[in-house]
Amino acid sequence: MLLIRNRLAAMVAVSVVGVVAGVIAVAGPLNPPAGAVSSTYKTLSEVEPRIAINSTNTPGGAGETFLISQPGSYYLTGNITMTSGKQAIGVSVNDVTIDLNGYTITGVSGAGYGVVGYGGVGRIVVRNGSFRAGPLASISVGPDSLVENVTASQTSTSVDAMYVGDRSVVRNCRVSTAGGAVVPGNQCVVEGLSAVNVNTGVHAPSKTDVVVRDCVLVQSGSGYGVSGLHRLVVSRTQMQGFVIGVSGGDQSVVEDCRISNGTIGLISGKSSTLRHIEVLTMASAGVQVSEGSTLEHVDVRSCTDIGINVTNDCVLTRCNVSGSVANGIVAISRNTFVECISAKNTAGSGFVVSDSNIFETCRADENTGDGFNGRFGNVWRDSTARANTGDGIEGSSGTVVLSGRFDTNGNGATVGANIRLTGDAGRIEGNTLISGDFGIQTTSGGNVIIRNSSRNSANSYGGISAGNDVGPIGSAATATSPWANIQY
């Protein structure tokens, strides 16, 4: 037993010696190598590879507090209070980045711009800070520039906040108390802008290919929410209180927007596209669009003038107007309406059109005037008009009304009809007529009137003038002609 214990003790001793020897074997030298000692730390320029904006690095001149005259990346180290008669930061070269570093540039009476690119120099980046009480614009930079994460508040709503040149981007900025929040050049993008108490949100009435998206714009008294010339694009944006919410030229696109509490909701030029737009409570018109345009899911409510006004060759799908103090939807010629509704317009008709328009499954209810009022060659298929003060449909020569439902129209002080024709060469076929002063009324001959059914009208077919081709009138039980008009 003693022998075993001695052997174990010897083995442990050998192991400990081996470990210690191993540790000693890998240890480094105790003395440093010969020669000068060199630093293992980074230089200040390596830690912060930018240039501080100060009187040493960026000394100003007679016109500015600080002047950047070499390309590079610059940053603020503290707040700046401007000097009367001077810009805060002037830039005289392209390719400059200015990080405001969370600090604020504060204006004083008589001061100039916050950051300005002299002579229109561009490729300037301004980010991450604030401008306050500037008597002139907070930022004015040339083409191909970027302004992001900047807050600007001017001294009054007569002073614009930001000017950017062609092909520039303004991103995630906030503006208050200014004339124009952003005044962009051609082919600019403004996204994530929040502007409150401004005369104009994005103001580019003579510029093309401007894109505005994901913005919230609230006005103080006059001006545009967004304005641009041709190919303006506005998406996912809210505009409130502007004289004109959106004003665009030809080939403009406006989608997923809400425009409220202004004078005119939206104006656009030829071949424009409007999708998923809500226009509410306008002191004048809701939407005005030129020829060849497409409107989808445009909802207009509570305007004191026309709800939707289009010219020629437009297509309107699932557009709704209600509560206008005028006609709901007005058009000229060769337009197509699909599943559109115009209702409860208090001083006009639901739809008023000129010539050669087509209506598919549309509805006009409870309007003070007619449900539908058209001139020559209009076609209504599967459409409905109910409880309008005037006629359900009034059309002139060449009118076609097929498979519609017209109920209790002509319910005002004057005598009205569910369907009224004032010309010839029309066709009224397969319609359901309920109540009303007249089921069908005509003022001239030369029309075909077949396969309709009328119930409870004071005079279902008695208003049809001589000279029309009218299918036999009687009950379904006694009718023998396939062209019979049913009265029940």
The pLDDT tens digits of the residues spanning 254-284 come to: 999 999 999 999 999 999 999 999 999 999 9
Please give the Cα distance from 51 to 99 (Å, whole number). Answer: 10
Note whether 254 and 235 are within 8 A (CB): yes
Note whether 331 and 311 are within 8 A (CB): yes
Write down the residue that tokens 């006005």 correspond to: 219
Q: Report residue 7's pLDDT band, with 50, 70 and 90 as the boundaries.
A: very low
Note whether 373 and 353 are within 8 A (CB): yes
Those residues whose C-beta lies under 8 Å from the C-beta of residue 388, and which sit 6 or more positions away, are: 349, 350, 364, 365, 366, 367, 368, 369, 370, 371, 409, 410, 411, 416
Note whether 299 and 281 are within 8 A (CB): no
Please give the Cα distance from 385 to 407 (Å, whole number). Answer: 6
Percent of the chain with pLDDT over 90: 86
pLDDT of 21:
42
Q: Which domain holds residue 145?
A: 49-155
Q: Report, as an integer, the average pLDDT of 170-189.
A: 97
Q: Report, as an integer, the average pLDDT of 414-426.
A: 94
- Residue 359 pairs with which residues in a beta bridge? 337, 380
pLDDT of 399:
98
Please indicate whether residue 20 or residue 124 has the higher confidence score (pLDDT). Answer: 124
Give a yes or no: residue 26 inside a domain.
Answer: no
Those residues whose C-beta lies under 8 Å from the C-beta of residue 91, and which sit 6 or more positions away, are: 67, 68, 98, 115, 116, 117, 118, 121, 124, 141
Helices (H) and strands (E) in the chain, counts: 2, 51
Please indicate whether residue 24 or residue 401 has the higher confidence score (pLDDT). Answer: 401
Give a yes or no: residue 403 inside a domain.
Answer: no
- Tell me which DSSP letter residue 319 carries: -
Question: How many CA atoms are closer than 13 Å to the CA of 272, on its beta-carbon side?
Answer: 32
Please give the Cα distance from 474 to 147 (Å, whole number). Answer: 76
pLDDT of 457:
82
Amino acid making up residue 67: L
Q: Report, as an integer, the average pLDDT of 283-296.
A: 98
Please give the Cα distance from 238 to 469 (Å, whole number). Answer: 54
Please give the Cα distance from 373 to 371 (Å, whole number). Answer: 7
Report the SS3 class of residue 94. coil
Give a yes or no: residue 484 inside a domain.
Answer: no
Write down the residue that tokens 């075909």 correspond to: 448
Q: Report, as an integer, the average pLDDT of 225-246.
A: 97
Note whether 183 and 210 are within 8 A (CB): no
| Number of structural domains the chain divides into | 1
For residue 186, pLDDT over 60 is answered with: yes
For the chain, what is the mean pLDDT? 92
Q: Report residue 46's pLDDT band, with 50, 70 and 90 as the boundaries.
A: low
Please give the Cα distance from 174 to 465 (Å, whole number). Answer: 67
Q: Report, as an integer, the average pLDDT of 169-179.
A: 96
pLDDT of 146:
98
Those residues whose C-beta lies under 8 Å from the C-beta of residue 311, and which sit 6 or more positions away, are: 289, 290, 291, 331, 332
pLDDT of 39:
61
Please give the Cα distance from 359 to 367 (Å, whole number). Answer: 18
Structure token pair of residue 120:
């229109």
Give a yes or no: residue 386 inside a domain.
Answer: no
Q: Report residue 48's pLDDT band, with 50, 70 and 90 as the boundaries.
A: low
pTM listed for this prediction: 0.88
Give a yes or no: residue 74 inside a domain.
Answer: yes
Q: Report residue 2's pLDDT band, with 50, 70 and 90 as the boundaries.
A: very low
For residue 15, pLDDT over 70 is answered with: no
For residue 26, pLDDT over 70 is answered with: no
Write down the residue that tokens 């549309």 correspond to: 362
Q: How many CB atoms lie within 10 A of CB 1?
A: 5
Report the SS3 class of residue 444. coil
Give a yes or no: residue 474 inside a domain.
Answer: no
Percent of the chain with pLDDT over 70: 90
pLDDT of 220:
63
Tell me the Cα Rg of the chain: 37
Give a yes or no: residue 340 inside a domain.
Answer: no
Give pLDDT tens digits for 189-221. Answer: 999 999 999 999 999 999 999 999 999 999 866
Please classify residue 197 by burial: count the beta carbons closer than 10 Å to its beta carbon, then call 0-12 exposed, 13-18 middle and 19+ buried. middle
Please indicate whether residue 113 or residue 156 has the higher confidence score (pLDDT). Answer: 113
For residue 413, pLDDT over 90 is answered with: no
For residue 12, pLDDT over 50 is answered with: no
Helical H runs in 258-320?
Answer: none
Give the least confident one: 7-11, 62-66, 264-268, 300-304: 7-11
Give a yes or no: residue 63 inside a domain.
Answer: yes
Q: Report, as an integer, the average pLDDT of 100-111.
A: 97
Q: Report, as an integer, the average pLDDT of 368-388.
A: 97
Q: Report, as an integer, the average pLDDT of 89-110.
A: 98
Note whether 330 and 323 are within 8 A (CB): no
Q: β-strands 174-183, 453-455: how paired?
A: unpaired
